[in-house]
Amino acid sequence: MGNPFTTTVVQFSCIGGRVQPRAANVRAVEPAAGLPGSERGNLYLLIEVTGSGGGHAALYRQMLNAAQTAFYEASGGLSAALVRAVRAANVVLMRANEALPEANWRAGISCAAVQGSDLMIAQAGPSLIMVSHPQTIDQYPAQAGGAGTALGGPERPEVELYRTTIEPGSMLLLAQSDWLNIVPPESLAAVTAAENPRLAGDYLAQLAGEAELSALIVSFGAKIPEVQDELADKETLRFPSPTAAAAPQPQAAPATAPEAMPTPAAEPIRQRLFGGRPSPHAEPQPEPRVEQESVAAATDHQPTAARGPRSPWALLLALIIIPLIVVALVVAMLWFRTRAADAEFQQILTGAETAILEARSLPDETAARLRLSSARDFLDKARALQPDDPQLEKLQSDYAEVLGRVNRITPLYGLIPLWQFKETGRKFNRILLGGDSLFVLDAGRSEIGRFVLSRLGDSITPATPDVILRKGQPVGNVAVSDLVDADWAAAVGNQRSRLLVLDTAGGLLSYDVTWGATRVPLAGREKLVLPQLVKSYGGNLYIVDTKANQIWRFRPSEKGYENQPEPYFAATTRVDLAGIQAVEIDGFVWLLFADGRLLKFFGGEQRPFELKGLPDPLSTPSAVVSQLDGDLIYIADAGNGRILEFTKEGQFRRQFRPAQGNPLQGLRDLFLDEAGDKFYILTADQLFKADVPRMPAGVQAAPGQ
């Protein structure tokens, strides 16, 4: 069976926090068509060995060799060949233990064979494989820690076999089972959902940290049909054949006809060069009068019997030599001009390279940014001259690397798209997580949709979101009006966890999976002038009233919020809430404004606070979230398509951007799942999930921290 895919293979190995170019315990075998074993397909292997003995590299090589040989030499079907491969590796390890009993080596093995679009998996002992499909990501074995008997012991290991299919865009990840000791399965699922294997490897490096781990990544792409022969045939039909070119031509006109008239294309050139005079190579005439007659006769194209034969040199000069001289002059001029342009281009590249090197060596981030600004100018000029130059491409890569370090950019490799909204008329402004449910508030349609996360958290299950609340829906014998805002209220005391929603009529609604939508008593609704934002914290409900320039605090009662609201701001505190975008409460009250201000309050009084160390200003900030049990706060910067990380003292630490492109441009809301270390991100038309990147060990967060 022919291989219908192109493959890209990436080995990953991390030792002591340093990524290595090769992994000793993995192997990819892809026989070329026509070679022995090619009919068996491709084989991908990963072995993980534990034990007190040294020499792991040699042991890996022997086991991989044995498994590969057994697979390609075994008779029978694909599953039988894989079983033979696992058992051959087991024999090698058993013999090694017999020779060195104190080593007590044990191993797990993951084998994946691809034959056409079929993928067969064989595993024994500790092992882990993930396979991405267009809508799902499969994990083998399905449960972490589900390993059977390890290789190398007295018991014969049982080989677990699985069969699935792959398609263009699928990615195969063979990984050590130890990965699941440091990251959840969802993070590895995000690796297989990466756009390409290089990004997947970069994300693995981010996840690995200081751990010693390895993996093998294989991506499958569609093969482009070979059409070279067909194109060659079509090209042949465009030109006359050599036999046609050699066919007899019509006989030349008699010598009495004008024999050397220039072609229409050559005539203007000859006339321009000579001004209509006869060629200097023309034969001399006996008398000037005859010459004039000859010229007149030639001009009138009248045959003259008295004139002798004309020399061909004039025609040769006019048609060949002079045009060649003109071409040579043009080429020389273009050459000198190109040389000058190349010299200018190289000078610009030198300026860019110097600025980048200086920025790289500067310890002060502000000074480094100034030098990078100069480098950016040089690169823009160079791109206008020669946009595809390889030197320019390398300098742009160097510039991006230094800029990322100076501006503390951390790529969001594990950015997983969960849902794309294709309908028109939507205007999203809130995303919330409660249990395994994601709730999205659509102010454009005045409705709330519910999504259910899969077990791995890499997808959501409904074909369409379940609309749990919408304008006009009767709840408690009263129709729901326009929805203002919502928040997830955690369980406190006798209150269960639930979604709280405020509508424009001042009514408060509740939703949970068990009880559905219900009405919640809310006293003092007449005090609300223009409520805009809702937040729940510690059992209390806070409503931001922008018209009254007040935050109303509602304390809980037995059935809801039947106590009269209290103004949060102290009598001496005056706050203009115009332009407020978001509110967050973690003991402090944080207010984010459209102009980039973040104000901090405690006990109704404003506390000194400013954002420090930010490399460039905020642009249309849309959300702020904070750690309840930590010292970090995050701001969604919609205009720049990024998420910023600060300490609660205002010190900038990092900024998170997508590893490729900028799908977060114009993001609407951000939810922090602190327990799961995840971001849930809402843009104008998409729903994403991303891991909160770890701060690399030993990296200083910000100057002075």
pLDDT in tens, 34-73: 777 788 899 999 999 998 766 688 899 999 999 999 999 9
Mean per-residue pLDDT, 152-178:
93
In this prediction, residue 20 carries a pLDDT of 87
In this prediction, residue 528 carries a pLDDT of 93
Which of 500-504, 571-575, 665-669 is predicted least confidently?
A: 571-575
In this prediction, residue 476 carries a pLDDT of 85
443-468 as b/e: b if 16+ CB within 10 A: bebbbbbbbebeebbbbbeeeebeeb
**Across 20-29, 290-299, 583-592, which has the greatest mean pLDDT?**
583-592
Q: What are the distances in angstroms from CA 627 to CA 60, 488, 551, 634, 674?
A: 44, 15, 22, 9, 7
Q: Which CATH superfamily is domain 412-691 in?
A: TolB, C-terminal domain (2.120.10.30)
In this prediction, residue 257 carries a pLDDT of 38
Which among 502, 503, 413 is positioned nearest to 689, based on CA atoms?
413
Tell me the three state secondary structure of residue 548: coil
Indicate whether 231 pLDDT > 50.
Answer: no
Give residue 314's pLDDT band: very low, low, confident or very high (50, 70, 90).
low
pTM of the model: 0.69
Span 573-605, pLDDT tens digits: 899 999 999 999 999 999 999 999 999 999 999
Q: What CATH topology corresponds to 5-222?
A: Phosphatase 2c; domain 1 (3.60.40)
Tell me the three state secondary structure of residue 628: coil
In this prediction, residue 349 carries a pLDDT of 92
- 3-state secondary structure string across 281-309: CCCCCCCHHHHHHHHHHHHHCCCCCCCCC
Mean per-residue pLDDT, 111-140:
93
